[in-house]
Amino acid sequence: MMTTLVYVIAYLGIVFFLIAVAARFVFWSRMPMHVRWELYPVAHEGGGRAAYGGSYLEETDWWQKPRQVSLLGELKVMVPEILFLVALREHNRKLWTRSFPFHFGLYLVAVTTILLLVGGVAGALLPANIAAGSNRVIGLLVPWLGGAGLVLGIVGAIGLLARRRSRELRDYTAPADYFNLAFFVVAFGVALITFVGYDRDFSLVSAFVANLATFNMAPLGSGTGVLLLMLSVVLLSLLTAYIPTTHMSHFVGKYFAYHSIRWKDEPNLRGGKQEKAIHDLLNQPVSWAAPHIKGDGKKTWLDVATEDQTAEGEQP
């Protein structure tokens, strides 16, 4: 019964994570259009203009010409940013030295989990000789990637905890921030103890993940190593389900920060979707009572944008 419960918790953690991430994505995708930043270069600008910060607006009669958009240009910016936190390194080196190992450790743990799932599925679906060959390769990679990921994650989380306690950040840190990082330290710590003390070749966790991938809830045996593995699975499953419910789901928001704010430069053409979206937003009522707005809940943003803002007693 205890083993079955651990499998169920693992499944629920994965399902809840996927649903919560999808809900976050839908929420962000339905947010109102953001005001254009007009910041260049835009990574997806084609025609070689991104290299010097140019845009399609340089062309005469640009609205009559097809736009050149480069997915490769976006990837050249996004991949280094995701893997190495380039912007954080440039603007806040102290925080980067703690945040980079933490995030890179998470990536390595995620890659390790994917490899274990692939090995489990391969063992169930592929011929025995092919599955054995792929699992030998996976077996060589998993201990190194998994062990390094756990160590980096713990070191980074402890570093971020210490940084949060520093004078610069202490006043801006909520109790939940400490809890989140401590949760990572505990969950990764138990997994690391299991790996170092009882499962150095990841054979136990490989067997568990293979069962998980093939919906086989068979017990793995008994002993301290198995008990620690079960505890580790429960903690990591709860952590997986918990992440997208907190601000740690910023990986979803970061996608929209780039693609819907920094890089969103679609032209507003007559009769286009941008025109309709802007029209709908301008007709939203304004209740902001600031002196320069004087919203009463009836006036629209179009009224605010077009009315005379000259202060009383001043000449226009």
CB 16 within 8 A of CB 241: yes
CB 42 within 8 A of CB 67: no
* Euclidean distance between CA atoms 82 and 94, whole angstroms: 18
Tokens of 313: 């007693």
Three-state DSSP at 308 gives coil
Q: What is the CATH number of the domain that holds 91?
A: 1.20.950
Residue of 243, 267, 10 lying closest to 120 (CA atoms): 10
Q: Is residue 41 a part of any domain in this protein?
A: no
Beta carbons within 8 Å of 315's beta carbon, 6+ residues apart: none
Mean pLDDT of the chain, nearest integer: 90
User: Can you give the pLDDT at residue 311?
Assistant: 52
User: Can you give the pLDDT at residue 316?
Assistant: 47
Q: Is residue 264 a part of any domain in this protein?
A: no
Q: What would the mean pLDDT of 264-292 be, rounded to a whole number?
A: 88
User: Can you give the pLDDT at residue 310?
Assistant: 56
Q: Per-residue pLDDT tens for 181-203?
A: 999 999 999 999 999 999 998 88
User: Can you give the pLDDT at residue 137?
Assistant: 86
Q: What would the mean pLDDT of 167-187 be, rounded to a whole number?
A: 94
Q: What are the φ/ψ torsions at residue 226 (nearest 5 degrees)? A: -65, -40
Three-state DSSP at 300 gives strand
User: Can you give the pLDDT at residue 298?
Assistant: 86
Share of the chain above pLDDT 70, in %: 97
Radius of gyration of the chain, Cα coordinates, nearest whole angstrom? 26
Share of the chain above pLDDT 90, in %: 58
Q: What would the mean pLDDT of 11-16 be, rounded to a whole number?
A: 96
Q: Is the pLDDT of residue 143 over 50?
A: yes
Q: Is residue 302 a part of any domain in this protein?
A: no
> How many structural domains is the chain composed of?
1
Q: Is residue 66 a part of any domain in this protein?
A: no
Tokens of 277: 């979206």
Query: How far from each other are the two terminal CA atoms of the chain, in whole angstroms?
Result: 80
Q: Is residue 161 a part of any domain in this protein?
A: yes
Identity of the amino acid at 11? Y
* Euclidean distance between CA atoms 53 and 45, whole angstroms: 9
Three-state DSSP at 285 gives strand
Q: Is residue 38 a part of any domain in this protein?
A: no
Q: What would the mean pLDDT of 140-158 be, rounded to a whole number?
A: 96
**Environment class of 283 (CB within 10 Å of its CB; exposed 0-12, middle 13-18, buried 19+):** exposed
Q: Which domain holds residue 230?
A: 2-31+85-245
Q: Is the pLDDT of residue 308 over 80?
A: no
Task: Report the predicted TM-score, pTM, of the whole model to 2 decimal places.
Answer: 0.87
CB atoms within 10 A of CB 110: 13
Q: Is residue 179 a part of any domain in this protein?
A: yes
Q: Is residue 76 a part of any domain in this protein?
A: no
